Amino acid sequence: MASVVRPKTATEALSHFRHREINALMSHLRLYGPLSPTAEPVPTVEVHTESSTGQPSIRPSDPILLPNPFIPRKNPRTGKWREPRYSLRQQAELVKKAKEINNLEMIPPGQKRAAMELRMRRVQASLSPSDLAHFEAASKAPQPSAVLQAVKLEKAKSYAEKSVEASKNRIANLEAQITERQAQNELDELAAFEKDTVQPEADRHARLKRQKEFASLKEEIVEAHTAKQNNETKFFGAEWRLGKVEDERALQARWSETVWVGDPKLKEKKGAELGIKLYAGKKKMFKGHLWEKQKVERVRKQSMLMRDMKLRVDRYKSFYKKRKPNPLRPSRYTKPPKLPF
C-alpha cells in the first residue's frame, strides 16, 4: 500500500525551498562558475555589542548571493542551455504559498511572481481608500501562525517552569517531613520485631498508623520526583522549540537580504495591466464562437431598430388608420370576399 504524503504547509514548503537552494549552491558554482550580480547590492548594517567595552560596533553584512532557479542557464563549457529548475506550475505553487504568509519577497523574480504582483496592483487600484488601508495593513502584518506559535511556547515554558518550582518545593517539604519521622519510624519497626513484648492495643494501632503515613510519604516523594522530571522535560522541550522558532524567524529575516543573480526576461503584453492580454490591441476576435464574433454587429442593428421602433409603429398605424381605424380589434366585415368572376 502506497504511503500517504501529507501536504506541506506554506511555511514548510518555503523552508524546503530555501534549504534546497542553499544546498544546490556549490554544485551550481562548480558547473557555471562564480556568481556575478549585475548591480552591486547595498550592504546592510548590523549592530553587535563588544564584550570588552560594551559599546556597539557596526559592521556591514554581505547579502546572500544565490542563482535564480526560475531562469534557464547556459553551460559555459558545452554551450548548451539547461531549463529552469522549477517549472511554471511549481513556480505558481511557491508563489501561492508565499502569498499565504505575506512573504512574497522570498521568491526569486519570475513570470508567476510578476503575474501575482500585477494582480495585486490591479486589486489595489480597484479598492476604495479605506479598503486599501486595510489591505496594506493585512499585507504588512506578520505571519499569524509563527506569532501564535511563539506565544503558545512562551506560555508553555512559563507554566512548565512554575510547575518545576512547585515540584521542588513539594519535594523539599516531603523530605523535611520524612526526616522528622525517620527516628520514630525506626522505633516503630524495632517494636514490630519484638514479639515477646506485650504492647497495648492503642499503641499498636498508633504504630501501624504512623507506619502507613510514613509509607505514603515515601510514595508521594517518588511521585513528586517523577512529576519534577516530567515538568523539566516539558520545560526544556518548550525552550528548545522556542529557540527553533526564533532561529527560523532570524533565518527568514536573513533570507530577506538574499540577492537572486539573474533577471528573467518578461514579455510585456499590451493590456496586461487591465487583465485582457488575449484581445488587447486587436480589431477582430480571432477566437470564440460564431455568435461571439457576430455580437457587435447584432447589437448595433438591435440598437438602431429599438431607436426607430416608435416611428415605424406610428407610420404603420397612420397607414391603416382610414381603412382600419383600430387594427387590434377584429374586423366587423363578415361577408366573404367577392370572386373576380
Task: List pLDDT tens digits, range 296-333.
Answer: 899 999 999 999 999 988 888 777 676 777 767 777 66
Identify the residue with better confidence: 232 or 23: 23
Amino acid at 45: V
Highest mean pLDDT range out of 64-78, 233-247, 313-327?
Answer: 64-78
DSSP string, 29-45: HHHH-S---SSPPPPEE
* Cell numbers found for residue 97: 504559498
Residue 101 has pLDDT above 80, yes or no: yes
| Residue 98 CB-density burial (10 A; 0-12 exposed, 13-18 middle, 19+ buried) | buried
Residue 285 has pLDDT above 70, yes or no: no
CB 98 within 8 A of CB 109: no
Residue 91 has pLDDT above 90, yes or no: yes
Identify the residue with better confidence: 176 or 113: 113
Identify the residue with better confidence: 251 or 84: 84
pLDDT digits (tens, 9 = 90+) for 48-57: 444 444 443 3
* Cell numbers found for residue 117: 504582483
Identify the residue with better confidence: 279 or 224: 224
For 241-253, the three-class secondary structure string (H helix, E strand, C coil) is HHHHHHHHHHHHH
- Mean pLDDT of all residues in 227-252: 77
94-98, 147-151, 179-183, 242-246: least confident range: 147-151
Rounded-to-integer distance, Cα 175 and Cα 327, Å: 116
pTM: 0.50
Rounded-to-integer distance, Cα 252 and Cα 248, Å: 6
From residue 113, alpha-carbon distances to 98, 120, 269 in Å are: 10, 11, 16
- Mean pLDDT of all residues in 76-83: 89
Rounded-to-integer distance, Cα 254 and Cα 62, Å: 10
Neighbour-count burial for 141-174, b at 16+ CB within 10 Å, e otherwise: eebeeeeebbeebeebbeebbebbeebeebbeeb
